[in-house]
């Protein structure tokens, strides 16, 4: 029993090290992929950490800027990198191996760069608008839930998609997510995280609303990835995280005054 608990802790720390810049001292990709089902907890931690500026005695504009910086810094810009790579493949009009070659290229197309800039602008606008509308405690819970669902979107996409035909990070994580026992554990952990934010006072209506763009984003990205590549890669998972996170924030920003 103790050995099993230690393995889970080691796997969680490895996953944390892989998905964030938090220095856990454990850099084992096999462990990280084996415990991918714990990803909602990683999202919860990210959400709380990026919310720290909201607790500082500074203006809402400055706090929003700092939260935005932490949003991208906490993940080491890894998801943004995947976002840019898949945008390049999307706009290239290529499919199969040619699209994959474009994704793996070290150069960035103009559309990918502009898309990333627009992504950040839209995220900041949505974040600041929410802060002008909500109290800081509610916004902390919202940001935590947004990151829980954004992280979960990667697991959902992995579990419903074809794995890459070549060895790599994406293959390890997607293969792990397809194991029925781990899938059930993931759902259980997701529910625990959601119950936590509910118990801290977040509105059930807001949580249900946030699930909508997550589900739609995963469905659309899955279809695009299978159409263009024939499978889902690690870059596509990063793209999914960024699109899900931004779409949830935009929807909340546009509808918060109606709830």
Percent of all residues in the chain with a pLDDT value above 70, rounded to a whole number: 99
Please, where are the H alpha helices in the chain?
2-19, 29-34, 39-50, 60-73, 78-92, 97-104, 110-133, 136-159, 169-177, 180-199, 204-228, 234-255
CB contact at 8 A, 252 and 142: yes
CB contact at 8 A, 176 and 100: no
Stretch 151-180: mean pLDDT: 90
For position 97, what pLDDT does the model report? 87
pTM equals: 0.95
* 116-152: burial string, b at 16+ Cβ within 10 Å, e else: beebbeebbebbbbbbeebeeebbbbbbbbbbbbbbb
pLDDT-based confidence at 168, cuts 50/70/90? confident
Tokens standing for 252? 């909340």
Domain boundaries, the chain: 43-258
CB contact at 8 A, 64 and 132: no
Instruction: Quickly count: other Cβ atoms within 10 Å of residue 178's Cβ.
Output: 13
Percent of all residues in the chain with a pLDDT value above 90, rounded to a whole number: 76
d(CA 136, CA 148): 18
- Is 80 exceeded by the pLDDT of residue 1? no
- Is 90 exceeded by the pLDDT of residue 104? no
For position 166, what pLDDT does the model report? 83
CB contact at 8 A, 203 and 137: no
pLDDT tens-place string over residues 127-156: 999 999 999 999 999 999 999 999 999 999
- Is 80 exceeded by the pLDDT of residue 259? no
Tell me what the pLDDT averaged over the chain comes to.
Answer: 93
């Amino acid at each position: 029993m103790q050995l099993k608990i230690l393995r889970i802790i080691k796997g969680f720390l490895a996953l944390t090290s892989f998905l964030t810049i938090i220095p856990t001292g454990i850099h084992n990709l096999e462990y990280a992929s084996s415990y991918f089902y714990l990803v909602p907890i990683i999202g919860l931690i990210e959400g709380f950490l990026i919310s720290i500026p909201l607790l500082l005695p500074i203006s809402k504009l400055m706090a929003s800027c700092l939260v935005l910086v932490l949003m991208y810094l906490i993940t080491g810009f890894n998801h943004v990198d995947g976002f840019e790579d898949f945008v390049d493949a999307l706009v290239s009009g290529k499919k199969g191996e040619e699209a994959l070659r474009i994704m793996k290229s070290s150069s960035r197309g103009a559309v990918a760069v502009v898309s990333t800039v627009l992504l950040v602008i839209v995220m900041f606008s949505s974040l600041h608008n929410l802060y002008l509308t909500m109290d800081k405690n509610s916004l902390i819970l919202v940001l935590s839930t947004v990151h829980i669902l954004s992280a979960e979107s990667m697991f959902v996409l992995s579990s419903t998609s074809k794995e890459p035909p070549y060895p790599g990070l994406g293959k390890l994580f997607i293969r792990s997510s397809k194991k029925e026992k781990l899938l059930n554990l993931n759902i259980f952990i997701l529910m625990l995280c959601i119950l936590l934010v509910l118990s801290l006072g977040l509105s059930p209506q807001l949580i249900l609303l946030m699930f909508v763009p997550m589900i739609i984003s995963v469905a659309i990205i899955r279809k695009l990835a299978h159409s263009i590549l024939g499978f889902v890669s690690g870059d596509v998972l990063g793209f999914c995280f960024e699109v899900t996170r931004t779409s949830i924030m935009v929807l909340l920003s546009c509808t918060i005054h109606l709830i």
